[in-house]
Amino acid sequence: MNSIPEPLSQEALSRLAKELTDIAERSQRLIADFVEKSGQINPADTHQEFMLIGQTFMQYAMKLSENPTQMIEAQADLWAQYAALWQTTLQRMAGSESSPIATPDKGDRRFKDTEWSDNLIFDYIKQSYLLTSRWLTDQTGQVEGLEPQLAKKVDFYTRQFVDAISPTNFVATNPAVLRETVETHGENLLKGLQNILNDMERGHGQLRISQTDMEAFSVGENIAVTPGKVVFQNDLMQLLHYQPTTEKQFVNPLLIIPPWINKFYILDLRPENSFIRWATDQGHSVYVISWVNPTADLRDKDFTSYMLEGPLAAVEAIERDTGTKKVNAIGYCLGGTLLSATLAYAAKKKINSFASATFFTTLVDFEQAGELSVVVDEEQIQLIERKMHEKGYLDGAEMASTFNSLRSNDLIWSFVVSNYLMGKEPFPFDLLFWNSDSTRLPEAMHSFYLRNMYQKNLMREPGGISMNEQPIDLGDIETPTYFLATKEDHIAPWPGVYQGMKRFGGETKFVLAASGHIAGVVNPPTANKYSYWTNENKPETEQEWFDNSIEKSGSWWADWQSWVAAKAGKKIPARVPGKGKLAVIEAAPGSYVKVRS
């Protein structure tokens, strides 16, 4: 890093001048576009967002001031840690060996450059940051008398702050960026500025950080390529039926209901990790709902609409197509919450269309709702509802930003450093392409979901919510159910999934997979990764269930297949899309999934 670079050649200087001219021209266009659109921006929304954060920390400070002794002790502890850091730093300056006072957590990739340990100055900066950030986050959990919701918000906002001020995020305090800047004569920063402008243009004046090369993938061409046909559609969804890969199939078809917050092809990224392809290979006649990416004209579609025009319309279409009266259904995340409501509604209405139901990382009891619960107090929901009322929907970019903020180091700041400071182009990655392919959410549906599930947690109560004017009760559900949770899930924490399962009547099975909300689900047996836990008993607490569970290596997919095969009926000649009662509309993955926000 101390080497002196060669002076720039005339060719390099010309290229530099051209890049600066291009940056200036593009910047002017963006500024003009921003000024033109500024009248469409509601300043009250931005003001309220900052006010909500400010109010959160004012309430926190008031509670903190009620116990000055605790604060003095905490400050003294921080100074003691700094004194220890100074001592070890002086020892290193004198040439002595010393153990670090603070080291990065396992899996923290921000400080992997060797300069963070080898260089005395950067080592001090790193340890100083780690001491301070951990002290700040620790304090949020030690203040007595904080209401649980306020404590969650303080913790969330504090973690956002300490992640943002990491020394890795700034040119002057990141050794890898400094080294790159010296070696390239600052060309990395110019490229980074170009990348910022690209992302600003892509976001129509708002910064939408590129997580992957968006031009490297095309839905239906090199992603979501399992062969199939669209055989039914309505305002809210297309129904896909996949080409069989076996001569015979189970008589009961498999219906997959994905969440409409994301697109269905998370279950069909590549042939080697496609759950849809794998289920077809196991002899299932697979149907999948592909939700529409709604616009303002669908603003009045509510949760009932999604039930009537989603799973209930799908099972009716499948029965018409195949003549079979029952399906095995899978609901993923929010799709599982909808499936739960549908099963309870079907029980009230004596609709006997479901042979079994499987739930992937699904909450129906939102008492332990994970980190998303920080955005569901009354003030936050009012802000979201005002934004939705102006457009008729919640913009997909806003939902994506919320999810990214839950893992800001991995999904925000790592790309800020790589794209903008190092000047690198995003690496092609199918999972991040899917993550960036966000969808809009209709006003009526999303408001109902936030208020009745996340805020009031009414779904767990008998008669707490109504579907199509019918009060429902999860206890009425007698359909055999398989619940899959994942151990590191920050969206649907597994203890919450376990407690929700206990609200159901009838036969239930609970399985816990390693990893998180996506990787724990999309884990094909051929990958030979992770593990899963089973326990046929269902004790009162989730911890007791886990303590007496059996850990098994590899994927849970085979365990589920053994379970669902018993509910799938006999084998019959394989069904070919378009050869039943439903005509082919278009080839899979269909047109709905290709509409981008």
Nearest CA-CA partner of 344 in 506, 539, 497: 506
Buried b / exposed e along 225-239 (16+ C-beta atoms within 10 A): bbebbbbbbeebbbb
Length of the chain: 597
Phi, psi (rounded to 5 degrees) for 532: -150, 160
**Cα gap 554→529, rounded to integer Å:** 5
Buried b (16+ CB within 10 A) or exposed e, 130-165: bbbbebeeebbeebeebeeebbbbbbbbbbeebbee
Q: Cα–Cα–Cα angle for 262, 306, 500, nearest 5°?
A: 75
DSSP per residue, 544-558: HHHHT-EEEES-SHH
Look at the block and give the residue holding tokens 């004569």: 185
Hunting for tokens 């076996």 — which residue is that? 246
In whole angstroms, give the CA distance from residue 102 to residue 1: 25
Q: Which two tokens stand for residue 293?
A: 């990416």
Q: What angle do CA 328, 477, 536 make, to 5 degrees?
A: 75
Pairing of strands 286-291, 254-257: parallel
Phi, psi of 289, rounded to the nearest 5 degrees: -85, 130
Question: Residue 569: which of 279, 346, 253, 329 has the closest Cα?
Answer: 253
Among 359, 555, 519, which residue's Cα sits nearest to residue 431?
Answer: 519
What region, left, alpha or beta, does residue 66 occupy, with left being phi > 0 and alpha being psi -120 to 50 degrees?
A: alpha
93 CB-near residues (< 8 Å, 6+ apart): 120
DSSP strand pairing (228-233 vs 237-242): antiparallel
- Are the CB atoms for 280 and 242 separated by under 8 Å? yes
What tokens does 578 get?
A: 């378009």
Side-chain-facing half-sphere of 554: CA atoms under 13 Å? 9
Q: Considering the candidates 237, 333, 346, 593, report the single residue annotated as catalytic.
A: 333
Q: Regarding beta strands 354-360 and 481-486, do their DSSP bridges make them parallel or antiparallel, or are they unpaired?
A: parallel
CA atoms of 31 and 29, how far apart (whole Å): 5
Distance CA 232, CA 587 (A): 12
Q: Are 486 and 515 in contact (CB under 8 A)?
A: yes
Question: Judging by beta carbons within 10 Å of its beta carbon (0-12, 13-18, 19+), is residue 443 exposed, middle or buried?
Answer: buried
Report the C-alpha gap between 104 and 117 in whole angstroms. Answer: 11
Q: Which two tokens stand for residue 397?
A: 């970019």
CA angle 16, 17, 23 (to 5 degrees): 90
333 has catalytic annotation: yes
Question: In this structure, are residues 195 and 419 in contact, taking their beta carbons and an 8 Å threshold?
Answer: yes
Q: Which helix (H) or strand (E) holds 534?
A: strand 531-534
Catalytic residues: 333
